[in-house]
Amino acid sequence: MNLKETVEETFFSIITEYKLKISNVNDKEVLLIGQNFTVYISCHFAEIFVHIKKEKDNIPIKPLLWAYCLNKVNFKNIPKTIYPPYMKMENIVKYNLFLQCNYIGLFCKELLLGDFSNMQLYIERSETILKEINNFYEKN
Amino acid sequence: MKKQKFKDLLKIGILTFGFFFLINCEKNNIPEEVSEEILPKEITENLPISIKTTSFLNTDIKFRSLTNKYNIDSNKNLQPSTNTQNKITTTNKSSIVVYTDIIKEITQGDYTSYTMLIESLDDDPNTFYNLTMEEENGNTGMFVTQYRTVHNKTAKDVAGKQSSSSNMEISTRRINDLQVPLGPEDFGNEGGGSSGSGSGGGGSSTTYPTDCDGTVITTTVANETRCTGCISGYPTWPSLETSTVYECVPSSAGGHTSGGGANAGGGSSAPPNNSNSSSITTPVNPDGTSAVPDILTSYLSLSPAQTDFLIQQPDLTNTFFEFLQQNNTAEDKTYVKGQIELETLLDKGKIKLQPLRGKINNRDDQKYTHFGTDGVFAFYKMEDGSTVISSPSQLTLNSDGQLVAQFTSEVSNSHYWYIKLEGSNEWANYLLKSSTNLADELRATALLSAEALGKAIGKYVLPVEDIKILLDGTDFEGQKVSRYQAGGFLLLSIIPGSKALKIVGNAADALTVVVKLGSNNLVVDTVKTGLKIVTDNNVVKFLSQTGDEIARIVNGVMTFRYAGFGGNIITNPNKTTTLLGRYADNTENGTRAVLDSKLFKFGENKGGLNLLDESTWDNLTQSQKDLLNYNWLEQAFIRGDDIRLISNPATNKFDINGALTQFGKELNWILNLKQSYGYIYDSISMTYKKL
């Protein structure tokens, strides 16, 4: 699987709309570079890790977690993702990328426009929400 | 053309033998009065003539004295392998070029001579020339001998066919130095002269020159014939044929004087002894039958099989020969003898390697593709192209150091290993043990370096992972090694074009670094990882290209700088530290930091870090992936690894969309595994440890 090609295909609409440049760091990591931010996309164990950063040393923002922290959506209303055992890694990666692309398009438009004003709120709430999520799914 | 020339040269050799036989028979035809008058005293007294094949390896004082006196060193060369006897130098007459491959040493009483082939003085394929230096009781002399085959056409035989016969003509010419201009005319037979024409202006013949207006110098030509039908003994020289050649030195040339080196006008000098003098020589002909194998056989006490192998491998033989000409210590001899011994064992004509895959000593880094055996020795073609020989007994190559035997043998002490690396022409001792404990092997290496390598020229190869360390005595002096040992590490550099490494003097030169890590070793390719290695007393530091410290090793314990869950990762020197975490967790830390550093292994790594290899997972299904992941984790529990969490389980077990992460699955599996294998969780070090 070529991560860069998959990202190019999946994120086509965002790349086009926000005029992002795509940069291949290595076979596990791709960058989408905008004017005021960078989207870091990496893949390991078929898990997709998508982080948005204003600058290199800033706290990385997870798109869906951004939505949770800013009360754009309640995590309990998001259907739990389950992969069938026969699903191949390659398809899991594509599916994950598709989800992440949608999360960015739905919940992170201000970040794509360079507005990181709610960053402090994200920092304050993210840890708590992550614990809630883990506790919730541990029980469910 | 070349073929014809070669045939002619072979004929010369054959005819030489035949000629001497004839001459011996004719000796009785010499008139009685002449025989009594001019035959040398030594011959008449029938002192035995001894002929020995030697070379420039000869360290005999007499030989060295003569070569110095006549400045042979500056005119010597190896005989061209093209087997040509044609003149190579372009000028018609120039200094004599001496071929040093073969030297015949003749002794009779106090007389000694050394005869060697020289570059031909003409373009005639039917001739060859020898140079002879001689000495008797402090008197010295030198002369050139021309051997010339003359083809005579005879009358038609009864069947009407034209037949022919050949004779060998021999002429000598006294000279004082190698700069004397000599040509075929100086031997009195230019333009197809015949036997007996040697009086007057130089040259000689096999018939006594009764008309000589000067001094007649007698030369005995002795010819040894190699035994071809001997049942035992090797090599054997059963017969010696002799003939006599006369050279007339005209009185106008100043007569001959005794005392060695006396000038005889036109370049002639006398034999070393006085009026009843006789020189002795023997033909060293260029028929392509090199004496080098015999020389080496004698010099190194080789077996008949080894001599036969050398005869079949002239290039290799010459390589050994040239090496010994420059290096003449006992260790050098042992080294060459060891090389010949191993080459002979691997003689491809006798050993057939069959495709067969396996691992030597069941080591993953010792995979071979071909195997062969002669019932005693085992032969392996390794995956990296190296050739390995296993011997049940110690061979010559490691006879210099008992330590080698100790550390190269298996536990049973019944096998010794030797390797020829791909791309190399040299055999080395292979420090291969059953153990996969590299620390022990490096300790053995250090001992070897201090106690054995300093005395031996032989090279040693030590396997580390999938690369091989080439240990060279010159780089491995005791003092240097002691310093490395104190620092707990060895510095290595890759040999260009090879997977072998060699020890280097300092960290700046090292492309690859082997660091002692607990009871194991960490091999770091500084080029691939982009890491810099610096040392500070007993601390080895790994720095990023920006100079940030990635990790450090003190007394075999690695501290990996980690800003994520649990902080720095500190290894257990006696165990593998298996790391569990997400690639990039919510704090953007995780296994990625370790993966990027390359300071880890996939699998068991005592004293070091172990990560799961998922590089081939693309085509697997979710359940297949889980199975591999589970097996890897269970192996860690079976080994008793320390299992360190580097992502926070409280926030990384589930992804934010509710999916159980791979790390989360591992955490679930641990719940059962820790019970099965007796583990507890240490919440201070964030590590599952075996009770």
Q: How far apart are the first and last CA of chain A?
A: 33
Instruction: Count other C-beta atoms under 10 Å from residue B344's C-beta.
Output: 19
CB contact under 8 A, A89 and B654: no
Helix (H) or strand (E) holding A64: helix A63-69
CB contact under 8 A, A131 and B650: yes
Chain A interface includes B620 (CB < 8 A) = yes
CB contact under 8 A, B583 and A44: yes
Beta strand pairing call for B98-108 and B50-54: antiparallel
pLDDT of residue B262: 31
549-608 in B: which are within 8 Å (CB) of A?
582-584, 586, 588, 591-592
Q: Is the peptide bond before B125 cis (omega within 30 degrees of 0)?
A: no
Question: Longest Cα pair distance anywhere in chain B, in angstroms?
Answer: 125
Find, in chain B, the residue whose alpha carbon is nearest to that of A61.
B586
Q: Which among A47, A85, A131 has CB closest to B651?
A: A131
pLDDT of residue B43: 43
Chain A interface includes B667 (CB < 8 A) = no
Q: Where are the beta strands (DSSP E) in B231-305?
A: 239-250, 278-281
Instruction: Judge contact between B129 and B285, C-beta under 8 A.
Output: no
Chain A interface includes B652 (CB < 8 A) = yes
pLDDT of residue B386: 86
CB contact under 8 A, B614 and A45: yes
List, edge to edge, every strand of the sheet that includes B539-543. B532-536, B539-543, B549-554, B557-560, B569-570
How many alpha carbons lie under 13 Å from residue B181 in its C-beta half-sphere? Answer: 5
Distance from the Cα of A118 to chain B's closest Cα (Å) equals 18
Q: Looking at residue B687, what DSSP letter applies?
A: E
Q: Which residues of B fall within a CB distance of 8 Å from A86?
A: 621-623
Spatial separation of the C-alpha atoms in residues A22 and A26, rounded to whole Å: 12
Residue type, B476: F
pLDDT of residue B298: 78
Question: Longest Cα pair distance anywhere in chain A, in angstroms?
Answer: 43
Chain A interface includes B508 (CB < 8 A) = no
B18 Cβ partners below 8 Å, 6+ apart?
B168
B252 Cβ partners below 8 Å, 6+ apart?
B213, B214, B265
Instruction: Count other C-beta atoms under 10 Å from residue B287's C-beta.
Output: 19
* Both structure tokens of B301: 């006490």
Q: Which among B584, B622, B650 has CB closest to A85?
A: B622
CB contact under 8 A, B622 and A90: no
Q: Which residues of B fall within a CB distance of 8 Å from A61?
A: none
Task: Give buried/exposed letters for B73-98 (b at 16+ CB in 10 A, else e).
Answer: eebbeebeeebbbebeeeeeeebbbb
Chain A interface includes B627 (CB < 8 A) = no
DSSP result, B401-452? -HHHHHHHS-TTS--EEEEE-TT---EEEE---S---HHHHHHHHHHHIIII
pLDDT of residue B26: 38
How many alpha carbons lie under 13 Å from residue B504 in its C-beta half-sphere? Answer: 16
Substitution target in B587, B657, B665 with the highest count of A β-carbons within 10 Å is B657
Spatial separation of the C-alpha atoms in residues B478 and B525, rounded to whole Å: 25
CB contact under 8 A, B659 and A92: no
- Averages of pLDDT over runs of 10 residues in chain B (691 residues) are 47 43 37 38 60 74 87 74 47 67 84 89 84 90 86 54 65 85 75 38 65 82 57 42 81 43 39 61 72 78 84 79 75 82 77 84 81 87 86 74 47 68 77 58 56 50 71 55 59 71 69 75 81 80 88 88 94 92 85 89 88 79 88 95 95 90 94 94 94 88
Count of CB contacts below 8 A, A vs B? 104
CB contact under 8 A, A45 and B620: no
Distance from the Cα of B629 to chain A's closest Cα (Å) equals 10
Q: Give strand pairing partners of B378.
A: B373, B390
Find, in chain A, the residue whose alpha carbon is nearest to that of B627.
A85
Q: Which residues of A fall within a CB distance of 8 Å from B655?
A: 47, 81
Spatial separation of the C-alpha atoms in residues B482 and B468, rounded to whole Å: 21
Q: Where are the beta strands (DSSP E) in B119-268?
A: 127-136, 139-156, 162-174, 204-205, 214-225, 239-250
pLDDT of residue B676: 94
SS3 category, B367: strand
Residue with tokens 């998922």: B614
Ranges of residues in chain A whose predicted pLDDT is under 70: 1, 57
pLDDT of residue B668: 95
Distance from the Cα of A79 to chain B's closest Cα (Å) equals 7
pLDDT of residue B121: 84
pLDDT of residue B12: 46
Spatial separation of the C-alpha atoms in residues A73 and B122, rounded to whole Å: 104
56-115 in A: which are within 8 Å (CB) of B?
60, 62, 64-65, 68, 75, 78-90, 92, 99
Spatial separation of the C-alpha atoms in residues B574 and B607, rounded to whole Å: 6
Spatial separation of the C-alpha atoms in residues B76 and B378, rounded to whole Å: 43
CB contact under 8 A, B658 and A68: no
Q: How far is CA B201 from the centre of its chain?
A: 50
* Both structure tokens of B612: 């799961």
Instruction: Answer positive or negative: Cα dihedral of B352, B354, B358, B364.
Output: positive
CB contact under 8 A, A138 and B654: yes
Q: How far is CA B619 from the centre of its chain?
A: 49
Spatial separation of the C-alpha atoms in residues B85 and B128, rounded to whole Å: 7
In this predicted complex, what is the ipTM? 0.90
Q: Looking at residue B639, what DSSP letter applies?
A: H
The string of pLDDT tens digits covering residues B607-654 is 889 999 877 777 788 888 889 999 999 999 999 999 999 999 999 999
The string of pLDDT tens digits covering residues B461-476 is 777 666 777 766 555 5
Distance from the Cα of A19 to chain B's closest Cα (Å) equals 26
